[in-house]
Amino acid sequence: MVEYSALALLKNAFTGNRDWKQAWRKPEPKPAYDVVVIGGGGHGLATAYYLAKEHGITNVAVIEKGWLGSGNIGRNTTIVRSNYLLPDSIRFYDFSVRLWENLSHELNYNVMFSQRGVLNLAHSPGQADEYIRRGNAMRHEGGDGVWLSRDEIARKVPGVDLSPNARFPVVGGLLQPRAGTARHDAVAWGYARAADRHGVDIVENCEVTGFLREGDIITGVTTTRGEIRAKKIALAVAGNTSRLLQMAGIDRFPIESHVLQAFVSESIKPLVNCVVTFGGGHLYMSQSDKGGLVFGGDLDGYNSYAQRGNLPLVEEVMSEMTAMFPAVARLRLLRSWGGVMDMSMDGSPIITKGPLPGMYLNSGWCYGGFKATPASGFSFAWTIAKGEPHKTNAPFTLSRFERGNVIDEKGQGPTPKLH
């Protein structure tokens, strides 16, 4: 596999870019592997990469029902952050940010990680107190959080409506400078290429249709491309987790699947140089390298496995967008898309051994899946290889729901759609 470098770029420029090598192989699935990872998105590919790199387990297959990156890894708003309140969440997501910071070098692939910062706007004294508390919690755990006044926000993000008679007056904001954005498809391609270099088989258009069992032990999967046996089966399929578990005879699992829409506007000149979130509702927005405004908001509010949403939510998001940035009201919407969110009962992920021997689960990511990609893959690979959790994912077990030891960032209780 050729290394990507400035020299390779120059050489191929003189040959009309005809000599680039294939980024990853297109192998036929083997009858058996040590580990089969179901799901060819960011988490599945990262898991396979870290299994090979960190643990020397290279007899691994990643099987994907469609094309690589056709799920949530290609259907998000590309935000990377660790501005959480609870210690378990801060530690996990800050570990992910640290991995993001060196990811392009590690994968020899530019994932376009831009640490432009994430700014949460506060619109009331009570909300300001909550954000300051969160910032202090982040700093207490070794992270970074900075409180900005209205004047500082005006200098950093000139387009925000800071007028005194605004419907949602801004009183300040919490900035995480190390947060930012990355290129979602580049993350999938970078992990796929790096995993392939370690000998991992990436098998596309290979949908799981059932599980092979010996008693209660999961020993493999049946797919549209034949049976594949493995010592360990790892699920990293986001909102389709409950579907696959039903194939294994597990009808109850603490997640719900919901639609989450995202949008991008036509390209404009630079307007905002960080990620901005609207405290008067649920809206997050940044500007892509192509000039489009990338933004999203709440769930569509109904259970679904569809990758499309409804128009009332579009109207809600647009109204919040124009309340925060009045100048964008006349922009045209270029496109929208939907992802299937696996909303857990407390709004936090599940990275653990599965309910059946031989099965491992990576699910319940709610809104946080993309930013967690490196830490999720690293800790899930550790759990699969060693049969026990890494210290960063040790709190995110299934048993926490039995014990009542939930990790509820929003304090909404066991209502997935509210997280």
Residue 308: the pLDDT is 87
Q: How many domains does the chain have?
A: 2
Q: Do 263 and 326 fall within a single domain?
A: yes
Q: 141 and 41, same structural domain? A: no
Question: What pLDDT sits at residue 19?
Answer: 85
What is the chain's mean pLDDT, rounded? 95
Residue 243: give its domain's CATH number. 3.50.50.60
Confidence of residue 376 (pLDDT cuts 50, 70, 90): very high
**Pair 36, 62 in one domain:** yes
Q: Which long-range contacts (CB under 8 A, 24 or more apart) does 222-226 make?
A: 223/29, 223/63, 224/65, 225/28, 225/29, 226/29, 226/31
Per-residue pLDDT, 37? 98
Share of the chain above pLDDT 70, in %: 100
Tell me 111's DSSP state: -
Confidence of residue 307 (pLDDT cuts 50, 70, 90): confident
Which tens digits make up the pLDDT trace of 211-236? 999 999 999 999 999 999 999 999 99
Give me the long-range contacts of 150-159 (CB less than 8 A, separation at least 24): 153/119, 153/121, 156/119, 156/273, 156/274, 157/119, 157/272, 157/273, 157/274, 157/276, 159/271, 159/272, 159/325, 159/327, 159/328
Q: Is residue 4 part of a domain?
A: no
Q: What is the pLDDT of residue 167?
A: 87
Inform me whether the pLDDT recorded for 301 exceeds 90: no
**Per-residue model confidence (pLDDT) at position 389:** 97
pLDDT at 146 over 70: yes
Q: Are residues 312 and 289 in the same domain?
A: yes
| Cα 403 versus chain centre, distance | 27
Domain that holds residue 294: 118-179+257-344
Where residue 62 falls among pLDDT bands split at 50, 70, 90? very high
Q: Are residues 130 and 195 in the same domain?
A: no
94 and 136 part of one domain: no
Distance CA 195, CA 107 (A): 9
Domain check: are 339 and 194 in the same one? no
Same domain, 372 and 385: yes
In this predicted model, what pLDDT tens digit does every residue of 176-199 receive, in sequence order? 999 999 999 999 999 999 999 999
Nearest to 378 by CA among 164, 121, 157, 98: 98
Model confidence at 2, pLDDT cuts 50, 70, 90, reads: low
pLDDT at 1: 62
The DSSP letter of residue 136 is H
* Residue after which a domain boundary falls, among 344, 364, 397: 344
Least confident segment among 3-12, 129-138, 339-348: 3-12
CATH code at position 298:
3.30.9.10
Instruction: Please report whether residue 13 resides in a domain.
Output: no
Cα(348)–Cα(367) distance, rounded to whole angstroms? 9
Distance CA 243, CA 257 (A): 10
Instruction: Find where tokens 């066991």 sit.
Output: 414
Verify that 262 and 339 share a domain, yes or no: yes
User: Which of 344, 366, 397 represents a domain boundary (last residue)?
Assistant: 344
pLDDT digits (tens, 9 = 90+) for 30-53: 999 999 999 999 999 999 999 999
Among 311, 344, 377, which residue terminates a domain? Answer: 344
pLDDT at 21: 87
Tokens standing for 119?
Answer: 């700014």
H-helix segments, 224-310: 241-247
Say if residue 241 is in the same domain as residue 361: yes
pLDDT at 164 over 90: no
Cβ-contact 324, 283 below 8 angstroms? yes
